[in-house]
A = this chain, B = another copy of it.
């Protein structure tokens, strides 16, 4: 059996998991890849003495680039630089690249896929969305006979853990975040998760794949979960919903799309409502297949590493390119402002007199679904009928008495 040399760039959580899976599963992987896979180099600026494979660490990227025996490179450094430069150089040198780096793919996916296509090598990134859950390859291959028109999901485990603690254990956002940090689910600086940036990168990748043109993070309206209160959780529950952070994208009739990240009220009978803790789920809708949902652990060392290694196996098995993943460059007006499309909104506001406020609300929205008039703090919460978001928001602003208004989307 032949041996294929690979290099792993980055020995953090995912990188060390990749090396661990490749070494511990070497026999079963060799059968599937039809080659032995040898980790020749591990690139990291830090030292890792005392490991079984400490002798494979290098600090100079050029050793990888200039070694023609390296056919597949794993990029698990994270961040844009130098990941982008290294990946581009590897592809241009005719090496296949597998990465879990969603920031990189969301920013430069179309460009890197194009280079891979020209060089007849693979650029694979299954682990960039949904961690270990198979999502991108099934969408690209198994749903190929469908015209896809909608993709959305719970794409970030950290925020889903926090929201689950708020919903199930009545924890405040701050306490739930602190617990997530204590358990290692959230970073000390949690902004990438709680402000929705991580979900944004993932919906960019999903929308790019499903609808065929690159969606850039700056085209996606992104809102995190920091403003969600326990009152919101309670009102949503009364109305038959749970609050989840959703990445959402939809194909419009004119070929353009919407793409958004926001916390939304998700109906309890929606499949996404039962996705709790650090689990993720991606829903795809196609004209022939209907709804398809992929569910599992969206993060974590070994789940993510196992997805990267599956890509490596695929590359090794098909050194002469499979290229089932591809999409075109995007353009400036491709992502339509979703404020121009129809939706329903949940509204929470402070008021002086709930009875008066209720009358005012029904004055503007005569078919509002009235949820609750809050007790102590004179809050009201209600759900609007369907309408164009921008117009709904104007109407909401025109309701007398409402102060400190908070608005969320509704996903039925």
Contacts and interface: CB of A to CB of B under 8 A. Distances in A.
Interface of A: 21, 25, 28-29, 32, 126, 132-134, 137-139, 141-147, 271, 274, 286-297, 300, 302-303, 305-310, 312-314, 317-318, 322, 324
Contacts of A300: 290
A309 B145 contact: yes
B293 A295 contact: yes
A145 B310 contact: yes
A264 B375 CA distance: 44
A306 B294 contact: no
A345 to B, nearest CB: 26
Given A144-B310, A306-B145, A132 B25 contact: no
A147 B306 contact: no
B138 A313 contact: no
B292 A134 contact: yes
B274 A302 contact: no
Nearest to A284: B296
Given A137-B142, A144-B309, A144-B313, 12 more contacts: A25-B145, A29-B144, A132-B290, A132-B292, A141-B314, A145-B313, A146-B306, A288-B303, A288-B305, A289-B306, A293-B293, A293-B295
A32 B138 CA distance: 14
B141 A310 contact: yes
Contact of A290 (B25, B32, B297): B297
Contact of A147 (B28, B132, B141): B28
Contact of A297 (B274, B289, B310): B289
Interface core residue of A21, A144, A286, A309 (most chain B CB under 10 Å): A144
A28 B132 CA distance: 29
Contact of A137 (B29, B126, B138, B146): B138
Contacts of A271: 274, 295
Contacts of A297: 289-291
Given A271-B295, A290-B297, A293-B296, A126 B142 contact: yes
Nearest first, the 4 A-B pairs at minimum CB distance are: A134-B142, A145-B309, A288-B306, A134-B138
A288 B302 contact: yes
Given A143-B134, A145-B309, A296 B290 contact: yes
A22 to B, nearest CB: 8
Contacts of A25: 145-147
B310 A142 contact: yes
Contact of A143 (B286, B305, B310, B312): B310
A28 B148 CA distance: 11
A59 to B, nearest CB: 27
12 contacts: A25-B147, A29-B145, A133-B289, A137-B137, A137-B141, A138-B138, A142-B307, A143-B310, A145-B313, A291-B297, A292-B296, A293-B294
B303 A296 contact: no
A287 B17 CA distance: 13
Contacts of A288: 21, 132, 302-303, 305-306
Contacts of A312: 145
Contacts of A21: 145, 288
A293 B294 CA distance: 6
A144 B314 CA distance: 9
Contacts of A139: 134
Contacts of A29: 144-145
